[in-house]
Amino acid sequence: MKIVFIHGANSTSKSFNYIRSQLPEHTAIMVEYSTEMPLAFNIDEIRKSLPDDDFHIIAHSLGGIIAITLANILPNVKKVITMSSPFGGSGTADLLKWVFPQNQMFKDINSSSSIITRLVKPTADVLSIVSTSGGIPIIPTKNDGVVSVSSQKAIPNLNYIEVDTNHFEILLDNHVIDLIKIHLDK
Helix or strand (DSSP H, E) at 77 = strand 77-83
**What number of helices (H) and strands (E) belong to the chain?**
8, 6
Are residues 16 and 40 in contact, defined by beta-carbon separation less than 8 angstroms?
no
Number of domains the chain contains: 1
- How does pLDDT run across 142-167, given as a tens digit for each residue? 888 899 999 999 999 999 999 999 99
Q: Which of 85, 61, 58, 84 is nearest to 71 (CA)?
A: 58
3-state secondary structure 31-75: ECCCCCCCHHHHHHHHHHCCCCCCEEEEEECHHHHHHHHHHHHCC
Question: What value, to the nearest 5°, has the Cα angle with vertex 150 and ends 148 and 44?
Answer: 80
pLDDT score of 186 more than 90 = no
d(CA 34, CA 121): 25
Q: Which pTM was predicted?
A: 0.96
Pairing, β 125-131 against β 55-60? unpaired
CATH number at residue 168: 3.40.50.1820
| Alpha-carbon torsion (37, 43, 44, 50), positive or negative | positive
- How does pLDDT run across 22-48, given as a tens digit for each residue? 999 999 999 999 999 999 999 999 999
Task: Give the residue numbers spanning the domain of 9.
Answer: 2-185
- How does pLDDT run across 89-146, given as a tens digit for each residue? 998 888 888 899 999 999 999 999 999 999 999 999 999 999 999 988 888 888 888 9
